[in-house]
Amino acid sequence: MTELEIAIRDLVIANRILANENVTDGYGHISIRHPHSPNRYLLSCSRSPEFVDTADILEHELNGTVVDARGREPYVERFIHGAIYEARSDIQAVVHSHANEVLPFSVTATPLRPVIITASVMGAHVPVWDSRDEFSDSNMLVSNMAMGRSLAARLGSDRVILMRGHGFAATGRALKELVKLSVYIPQNAKVLEKALRWGEVKGLSDKEIEKRLAAKETPDLRRVWEYWARRAGCGELLGG
């Protein structure tokens, strides 16, 4: 397989995993930067992630223009992806999720922060983007580059951003790393919400987070990728 074919295959697997692990449902999407053209990215057409296949993957310009739609409708909120890639050359994958678990932290003053090891690479700071601040009472969808760039600016150098009453966007240095983070962001939110009811919370320290961020892809990441892929029923895509 070519590098591009492998990237598309892995993106299909990522869609299936996130759907099976309840990070996405009929809504939500994940993309990767094009392996040969850094000013483009790969993202499915507008389809529920559970059913995404290789034929659904479309090439996009950073401004959201689809290179060859082949009669397919793109996601309305594709601008989340393009604007983040435009702003952050270090980012190779982007996900958008409507996971309910994070929503309390998007509508209150209580910050979302990592308290479990598997969510450590979300970083110590998770900002909240409120579309109303710049775009008044909109439909809250990131449906153009102006909104996408506003969100990317609020994200800054952080890894994860909450969207008020909407969900979250997360970024990764690699696709598999981002899939792992995306699975554990909602779980981290559940643990934190429960711990806050019980009393004082001891989260991960800045040094612990820094050391986790410094780690490269490890055998455990490859192991859990296979585990999730087979759970999602797409183990045959893994190849040998």
77 is catalytic: yes
d(CA 82, CA 189): 26
**Domain CATH number, residue 122:** 3.40.225.10
d(CA 143, CA 82): 12
Write out the residue range of the structural domain in which residue 209 sits. Answer: 3-238
Tell me whether residue 78 is exposed, middle or buried, using C-beta atoms within 10 angstroms of its C-beta: 0 to 12, 13 to 18, 19 or more.
buried
Count how many domains the chain has.
1
Widest Cα–Cα separation across the chain: 54
pLDDT in tens, the chain (240 residues): 899 999 999 999 999 999 999 999 999 999 999 999 999 999 999 999 999 999 999 999 999 999 998 899 999 999 999 999 999 999 999 999 999 999 999 999 999 999 999 999 999 999 999 999 999 999 989 999 999 999 999 999 999 999 999 999 999 999 999 999 999 999 999 999 999 999 999 999 999 999 988 876 677 888 999 999 999 999 899 975
pTM of the model: 0.95
Question: Three-state SS for 31?
Answer: strand
DSSP code string of 201-239: -----HHHHHHHHH----HHHHHHHHHHHHHTT-GGGG-
- Are 96 and 168 within 8 A, CB to CB? yes
pLDDT digits (tens, 9 = 90+) for 170-185: 999 999 999 999 999 9
Report which residue type is found at 202: K
pLDDT digits (tens, 9 = 90+) for 148-172: 999 999 999 999 999 999 999 999 9
Catalytic residue among 3, 50, 73, 77: 77
Q: Using the structure block, give the residue that is written with the tokens 């296949």.
A: 53
